[in-house]
Amino acid sequence: MINVEKQLNLFRKQDRALKGLFFAISCLMVVALVVGFRFSMDLEAGMKQSMIPPPGWVEQAYLDQNPDVAAAVRSGKFESGWQHYLLHGIEEGRAGVTLPK
């Protein structure tokens, strides 16, 4: 015969364990969201920081050496020659930054 009291106690223990598990998972999800948000903010700040040309970058010289880039900047395709250099110029092997001595 089934002992009803034992079964109820077992269900109560399982219920408490599941509630604890769900609480732990909820906490981990909140932490993951906060960390992910912070990471995305750091990434965005880093990207904005990289959009600032380094010392030695001469915007007009880059545009003069690369008339196609100058035209793309004028048309609004790129915000600047520096943006083009970061996104494409490095990979294309275009001359860019002259570091100070």
Domain assignment of residue 96, given as a range? 54-101
Q: Are residues 45 and 19 in the same domain?
A: yes
Backbone angles phi, psi at 51, to 5 degrees: -80, -5
In this prediction, residues 40-49 reach a mean pLDDT of 59
Buried b (16+ CB within 10 A) or exposed e, 27-57: eeeeeeeeeeeeeeeeeeeeeeeeeebeeeb
Residues 43, 60: one domain? Answer: no
pTM above 0.75, yes or no: no
> Does residue 83 sit in the same domain as residue 100?
yes
Query: Residue 41 pLDDT more than 90?
Result: no
Are 87 and 79 a contacting pair, CB within 8 Å? Answer: no
Q: Which residue type, as a one-letter code, is found at position 48? A: K
Q: Are 95 and 63 contacting, i.e. CB atoms less than 8 angstroms apart?
A: no
Number of folded domains in the chain? 2
Q: Average the pLDDT over 70-80 and give the result.
A: 94
* Residue 43 sits in the same domain as residue 61: no
